[in-house]
Structures are given as C-alpha cells and as structure tokens.
Amino acid sequence: MQIWLLIVRRIVLSAVTLLLVSAFVFSVLEVLPGDVATRILGRDATPEALQVLREQLGLNQSAMIRYIHWLGGLLTGNLGRSLVSSRSVSEILAPRIFNTLALSIYAFLLYLPLTVIPAVVQALKRDMAADHVLSVVTLVLLSMPDFLLATILLLAFVLWIPVLPAISLVDETSSYVEYLRAMTLPAATLAIVMAVYAVRMLRDNLIEVLDSDYVRMAELKGLSRGRVLLRHALPNALVPTLNVTALNLAYLIGGVVVVERVFSYPGFGTLLVDSLQLRDLPVIEATVMIAALVYVSANLVADIAAILLNPRLRTA
C-alpha cells in the first residue's frame, strides 16, 4: 500500500513543481523590461499607438487575471494565441517540436556509436597509442564550448569538404533526404558534446569489467574475444554510463538552443530565442512549460523506477 502512496506523492509533487514553474515564468516575464507592444512597433512606437495596441492585445488587464486565464487554458490544453500574429500557439509550436524531436533522435542515434566505438577501442588498446590519442581528443572536445565545436564542424563540412549546407533550413515541403542533410551538422555537434564525457566513463568501466574474474573465466572457457566483449563485458559496463546518458538527454533540451541558432535550424530553441526577443508571452510561456514538462516527467519516471526497484523503499 505504502509504495503507491509514495508514487502518488511523487506525482503530486511533480504537479506542484510545474505549477511553481508556471507562476515563476509568468512573474519573471512580467518584470522583463519592455512589452510586446513596444517590440511590435519598435522605434516607430508613439505613446498613442502603444496604447491602442495594448488594448487590442488585452495587456491592460491585471497580471493576476491574465495568469489565471492562462493557467486555465493550459490545464484544458489551450495554449492561447501569439500576441504578435494571433496564430494559435499549438500551431506555431507543432512543427518546431517535430523538428527538434527529429534532431534529438538523430543526435542520439549518432551519440551511441560515437560513445561505444572509441570507448571499446580505448579499452582494448589500453595504454597504447590509440588509447592516448583518443584520450587527448576527447579531453580537447570536452573543454570546447558547443558553439565553437559547431563552428568548426561548419567550416570543415561546408567550406573545406563542401558536402553539407551551412544553413539548415527545412520546412514541411522538405524531403526526407533534405531533412537528414540539414540535420547532420547540428546533430553531430550535439552528439559529440554528449559523447565525450560518456566515452571516458565507458572506457574506465570497460577496463574494470575486462579485468574481472568472470571475463577471465569466459576467456578461459575459450569464447572468442568479440563474443566476450559484446555479450559479457559491454552490457555490464554500460549500466553506469546510462546515468550519464540520462543527464545528456537533459542537456539536449538546453543544448539545442545554441546549436539550432548557429545553423539557423527552425526548431524549438530558435523559437524560444525569437519569441523572447519579441516578448511574445504566450509562446515563451508555452515553450518553457513544455521544456519543464519534459524535465519533470523524466525525473518522475526515474523516481518511480527507483522506488519500484529499490527493495528498501518498497518495504519502508
């Protein structure tokens, strides 16, 4: 019985967290200098024109009323309309979420071999030239900010080896191959940033596992080197790396903002930056809430899994 209580408590806490995030985001945006009316009119703004526009946009209502309206809409799945274009926020968000999701999946697919292959090579060639070279490479990449890495990849694959587009513009008319080409550089950037830390971790774990008794036992039994590595050592070494991978998934949500910007990729991150500059409150709030929702639900799933797996919590 108690275990369900724990889980319910976690769910309630997550909901409260989201509510706090919503209030926090809303109030922070309230105190930001300048409002959407000044952004729309820019330096052409006159006090009278601003007044007319603010009335049209309903900005002269009190913040509390607008917050309650917004929260009510949010709970019923209505994200509101953009103050700038009056298009519905879900219509604006949908293609961007699709683009970022596609980019994240692509990045994650690149991340797996980028992590496993160097780590396996390093573990097998321990203390040999290949190991040292790869260690240096990962260390250098580890200390490099993502926008710099993005720029270097851009120079390499757009100018020196001209095979990829510098500007990753895709829309609903783009073909599958165009999408892949457009996403390759941003996805590679994200994948490398995520992989470098995981490589170092996996290498050390692999070395430890390869030195263990059961691996030696397997070798003595006469199993092939590859079979020992892939079937026995790697699965065990991967477990601690999974934690890093979970952290990396969280990085993806923030990392895309910078990387998308460098490649002008029309995703969630560029939308957030654009709508912040425009003070388009409903769009900003919706994007931040979705990001928060991803974080909170990922944590919730992890917590519930931990509760179900941990015998001590089970009996507590």
State the residues that interact with other proteins by CB under 8 A: 33-34, 38-46, 48-49, 52-53, 56, 82, 84-85, 87, 92, 113, 117, 120-121, 151, 154-155, 157-159, 162-167, 169-171, 173-175, 177-178, 180-181, 184, 226, 261-264, 266, 271, 274-275, 277-278, 280, 283
The CB-of-181 to other proteins minimum distance in angstroms stands at: 6
The CB-of-48 to other proteins minimum distance in angstroms stands at: 8
- At residue 88, the 3 state secondary structure works out as strand
The CB-of-277 to other proteins minimum distance in angstroms stands at: 6
Pick between residue 134 and residue 154 the one whose CB is nearest to other proteins.
154
Residue 123 corresponds to which tokens in the numbers above?
Answer: 């573990």
Pick between residue 199 and residue 295 the one whose CB is nearest to other proteins.
199
The CB-of-151 to other proteins minimum distance in angstroms stands at: 6
The CB-of-88 to other proteins minimum distance in angstroms stands at: 12
> Which residues have CB under 8 Å from 238's CB, separation 6+?
202, 205
Q: Are 183 and 106 in contact (CB under 8 A)?
A: yes
- At residue 217, the 3 state secondary structure works out as helix
Pick between residue 285 and residue 295 the one whose CB is nearest to other proteins.
285
The whole-angstrom separation of Cα 99 and Cα 49 is 37
Q: Are 60 and 83 in contact (CB under 8 A)?
A: no
The whole-angstrom separation of Cα 286 and Cα 269 is 12
The whole-angstrom separation of Cα 306 and Cα 75 is 28
The CB-of-205 to other proteins minimum distance in angstroms stands at: 18
In angstroms and rounded to an integer, the radius of gyration of the C-alpha atoms of the chain is 24
Specify the amino acid at residue 139: L
